Amino acid sequence: MKRKIRTASPTAPPASRSVRFQITAPQASKVFIAGSFNDWRTNDLSMIRLPDGKWAKELTISPGRYEYLFVVDDTWIPDPSDVETVPNPFSGLNSVIVVPNPGA
């Protein structure tokens, strides 16, 4: 999975960036993304099922370093394609995304 970072839309704060998250989970009935960018709310950011078994969600996020996990049918999993992870307090791993400042 490659995350595409685009410049902010006119309605977003000027420093924010559009980030696309994607995971392959063809058997899943529901997928959410939760992380430090939404206070780890599990049912806040539902992902959209794509025809090829993938799920995607585009978020507008301010620059910074964030930890996140996918919630696939109520099971928390790190991003399988993410290169950076950090230990979490539940003996698992959180994925990490860094959203750069514009012009960085």
Question: For residue 76, which of 26, 4, 23 has the smallest C-alpha distance?
Answer: 23
Q: Which domain holds residue 60?
A: 5-99
- Please check whether residue 104 lies inside any domain of the structure: no
Task: Give me the number of domains the chain comprises.
Answer: 1
Question: For residue 21, which of 67, 88, 90 has the smallest C-alpha distance?
Answer: 67
Mean pLDDT over 69-95 rounds to 94
| CATH number for 46 | 2.60.40.10
* Reported pTM: 0.82
- If pLDDT is split at 50, 70 and 90, which confidence band does 101 have? confident
- Please check whether residue 53 lies inside any domain of the structure: yes
d(CA 1, CA 103): 24
Tokens of 60: 């507008």
Mean per-residue pLDDT over the chain, rounded: 87
Least confident of 1-10, 64-73, 75-84: 1-10
Unique residue bearing structure tokens 């000027």: 14
